Amino acid sequence: MRGAPIDRIVVINDLARPMGGASALALTSARAFRALGHAVTLLVGDAGDDGNLAAAGIDCVALGQGRLLSRPKVEAAMAALWNRRAGRMVAAWIAQHDTPRTVYHLHGWLQILSPAVLHALAPVRDRLVISAHDFFLACPNGAFADLRSGQPCPLVPLSRACLTAPCDRHSRSHKLLRVVRHAIQTWVFDPAHSPPVLAIHAGMAPYLARAGIPRDAIHALPNPVVPWSAQRIAAEDNREVLFVGRLEETKGPDLAAAAARAAGVPLRLVGTGALEGSLRARYPEARFSGRLSPPEIARVAQRARLLVMPSRYPEPYGLVAMEAARSGLPVVLPSTALLAEDLVRHGAGVAVDPRDTAAFATVLGELAQDNARVRAMSEAAINLPTDLALSPDMWIARLLDFYAARLAALAVSGQMPYQRPDAAPRGAEPDSLPEPALLERTARARPLSTAELAAGARRSRSRSGE
């Protein structure tokens, strides 16, 4: 999209290091924008630049804080709900450096920055886009699922049924903390007047709309994918089942190991995480490769017959699945993953309940024996349509189009900057937040009754006009 040049692109994210998919994409975009000649600033919550960003010509403004999980419980709970320092950092940068043609892109904010940054961004909301790498913009637990059973959740966020649903994997108190945070976020985000939300899969739209985000504000922007192999991996000639991801309960490496043992097929796990020690002890027959670089993963993938992605909760995308498929590896994944329908429809994948070890093992055993089927799936996988994943260059071009569209719409309308009718003055903070005593009690994980749970959320929800 052509138009007047963008003055500067401001990328906002919790982390300045690629600790997960959202952070990796935020940093990748910042580097690509700068390589194209755009002025780029990165606003982050952690310690910031390790020197590489500055060497690339990217300005990095860092809050210098650790992630919530690294802090004492009470401090983490308060910061999760409203990180005043983060809000002030973003507001100060805007006050000092904003121009009418500066655009803002918010990626991740719940590990450090908190909903306070959404409030700080209100004066520039008409030049803001938000990436939905998960469902936290719409759902208190970020998954639209019961995180204990993995079953999808049909409830409306912050409804009475949602408030009392025991969907958190930790405790009732942890659920309350997330509910209160989401109520505060809803108040400052104002979903009915949402800026463009870039969903990593079109299937996210109904979930995001359930939280009040207008359908016309939701745009599908698939992740950029770099295949592990430019040529089709001859999967039918290989034997090894491959898992790539964090060795944590949510990603299901233990489910993969149990199914592989039951099927009698070799398993290689690439990644590290909290389950690594127990998995090594329980499944000595599996091969553990630790965390590998993309080129190292590419070499390992050449020996793989298929990839398993046995996540316990719905995956909005599943980048590793598409990296594998684009390389010619069949994929076995849960039906709750949004990519599952696409891969199965095109003959590139098999959907299975990974919690059902017998069914999972049956699929692995059948694919281990059927070379013709595996080859057909491999050929279908490498020929998947381009609308399921973008090349890095296409992804960057689409992002720049969104930014240009925001500026063009603002210029045509001549409208005043967005401001909620009940909003505080520019740069000011809300004058009331949930009671500290309630938050402290929540943070210490003391038992809370259903009445307290609902009352704590209602006090926050009332501010959003619900």
- Please enumerate in sequence order all residues whose Cβ is within 8 A of that of 92, keeping only pairs 6 or more positions apart, or say none: none
How far from 35 is each of 28, 44, 114, 406, CA to CA, in Å?
Answer: 11, 20, 30, 22
The H or E element spanning position 75 is: helix 73-81
416 secondary structure, DSSP code: P
Residue 369: per-residue pLDDT: 98
Pair (322, 376) in one structural domain: yes
Under 8 Å between Cβ of 256 and 355: no
**What are 86-95's pLDDT values in tens digits?**
999 999 999 9
- The full DSSP string for 86-123 is HHHHHHHHHHHH--TTEEEEE---TTTT-THHHHHTGG
Give the Cα-Cα-Cα angle 210, 213, 216 (nearest 5 degrees).
115
Pair (284, 311) in one structural domain: yes
- Determine the residue type at 36: L
Under 8 Å between Cβ of 139 and 163: no
239 part of a folded domain: yes
pLDDT > 60? residue 466: no
Closest-CA residue to 308 (of 266, 371, 370): 266
Residue 4: per-residue pLDDT: 64
Pair (364, 241) in one structural domain: yes
Confidence of residue 415 (pLDDT cuts 50, 70, 90): low
Under 8 Å between Cβ of 462 and 454: no
Backbone angles phi, psi at 241, to 5 degrees: -90, 135
Last residue of a domain, one of 388, 416, 443: 388
401 part of a folded domain: yes
Under 8 Å between Cβ of 258 and 252: no
Tokens of 209: 């709309």
Domain of 239 in residue numbering reads as: 235-388
| Percent of the chain surpassing pLDDT 90 | 74
Please tell me the distance from the alpha carbon of residue 379 to that of residue 218, in angstroms, as a whole number.
33
Pair (254, 338) in one structural domain: yes
Q: Is the model more confident about 233 or about 432?
A: 233
- Please enumerate in sequence order all residues whose Cβ is within 8 A of that of 376, keeping only pairs 6 or more positions apart, or say none: 347
Please tell me the distance from the alpha carbon of residue 204 to that of residue 194, in angstroms, as a whole number.
15
Tokens of 439: 């938050």
Residue 17: per-residue pLDDT: 85
Last residue of a domain, one of 388, 419, 450: 388
Pair (218, 303) in one structural domain: no
Quote the radius of gyration of the chain (alpha carbons, Å): 23
Pair (89, 214) in one structural domain: yes
Closest-CA residue to 240 (of 264, 258, 220): 264
Pair (119, 73) in one structural domain: yes
241 secondary structure, DSSP code: E
Average model confidence (pLDDT) across the chain: 88
Pair (384, 395) in one structural domain: no
Please tell me the distance from the alpha carbon of residue 354 to that of residue 352, in angstroms, as a whole number.
6
**What are 64-101's pLDDT values in tens digits?**
999 988 888 888 888 999 999 999 999 999 999 999 99
Pair (214, 318) in one structural domain: no
Closest-CA residue to 103 (of 401, 412, 420): 401
The pTM of this model reads 0.86
303 part of a folded domain: yes
Residue 345: per-residue pLDDT: 97
141 part of a folded domain: no
The tokens 């590998």 sit on which residue? 292
Give the Cα-Cα-Cα angle 285, 290, 291 (nearest 5 degrees).
150
Mean pLDDT of 107-123: 96
337 part of a folded domain: yes
pLDDT > 80? residue 152: yes
Give how many domains the chain has, as a whole number. Answer: 2
Three-state SS at 286: coil
- Please enumerate in sequence order all residues whose Cβ is within 8 A of that of 189, keeping only pairs 6 or more positions apart, or say none: 115, 118, 137
pLDDT > 50? residue 462: no
Helices (H) and strands (E) in the chain, counts: 18, 13
Tokens of 134: 């998960």
Backbone angles phi, psi at 350, to 5 degrees: -130, 130
The CATH number of whichever domain residue 116 belongs to comes to: 3.40.50.2000
| Percent of the chain surpassing pLDDT 70 | 88
- Ramachandran region, residue 238 (left: φ > 0; alpha: ψ -120 to 50; beta: rest): beta
**What are 237-291's pLDDT values in tens digits?**
999 999 999 999 989 999 999 999 999 999 999 999 999 999 999 999 999 999 9
CB atoms within 10 A of CB 391: 13
Pair (105, 208) in one structural domain: yes
**What are 348-369's pLDDT values in tens digits?**
999 999 999 999 999 999 999 9
Pair (277, 347) in one structural domain: yes
Please tell me the distance from the alpha carbon of residue 131 to that of residue 219, in angstroms, as a whole number.
10
Please tell me the distance from the alpha carbon of residue 308 to that of residue 354, in angstroms, as a whole number.
9
Pair (124, 273) in one structural domain: no
